[in-house]
Structure 1
């Protein structure tokens, strides 16, 4: 009675780069650049503090200048304060930067780089 060794696994048929033996996978990385509307520059996460980025308008590396604007969350909090009877306090969210949206501007050309919306 003779025992036969198991057959080797079949090799995949396909294109292998030169110097790449069959059966070994080639590792590669892919960089994805996301370009959207004016809400976030090139996939960057905007917050309520200045960031370092490249201005799409003047093509210079800058630290953004920030400006606060009244947004949806500011109006909502003001409305809720009025609704619950806090008439004297209802305009406080309009004075607090943490309740407002943040606009990131280029300090050189004043181009709007992006907006951080709280809601």
Structure 2
């Protein structure tokens, strides 16, 4: 019984002090920030850049993927030689990488 009085129970959640004691973090502490990417599509998207905080329309760069090569291989397999370059020229068989036009930060990738 004496040990129960010496160690009081922890305070309830609503009684915990959530204030920040300093405007600057202690040099030995680390902060983890989890950022979820914005929803991007196959077209340029208006977003707020997570890096430079500017409202921008994203710049797209298309990346050739395994799916692009498979589409070209299928065209070769079915003897459509004139159409082999079509998957490399269209945007439907490639991934769309979104970048900020101000700071060139990577925003996200749209895959079909």
Aligned residue-pair number: 79
How far apart are residue 115 of structure 1 and its match?
0.6
TM-score normalised by structure 1 residue count: 0.58
Q: Over the residues paired in the alignment, what is the CA RMSD in angstroms?
A: 1.8
How far apart are residue 35 of structure 1 and its match?
4.2
Alpha-carbon distance between aligned partners in 1 of 2:79 and 2:35, rounded to the nearest angstrom? 44
SS of the equivalent of 2:67 reads helix
Alpha-carbon distance between aligned partners in 1 of 2:35 and 2:107, rounded to the nearest angstrom? 12
Selected match of 1:99 from 73, 93, 96: 93
2:80 is matched with 86
2:61 is matched with 67
The answer (yes or no) to whether the contact 1:101–1:115 under 8 Å persists in 2 is yes
SS of the equivalent of 2:82 reads coil
Bigger proportion of residues as helix: 2
Unpaired stretches in structure 2, ≥5 consecutive residues: 1-33
The answer (yes or no) to whether the contact 1:71–1:117 under 8 Å persists in 2 is no
Deviation digits for residues 20-54 of structure 1 (CA, Å, limit 9, x no counterpart): xxxxxxxxxxxxxx845xxxx24x2x211111112
How far apart are residue 55 of structure 1 and its match?
1.1
SS of the equivalent of 2:62 reads strand
SS of the equivalent of 2:83 reads coil
2:12 is matched with none
Deviant stretches of 4+, over 3 Å: none
Alpha-carbon distance between aligned partners in 1 of 2:80 and 2:55, rounded to the nearest angstrom? 45
How far apart are residue 61 of structure 1 and its match?
1.6
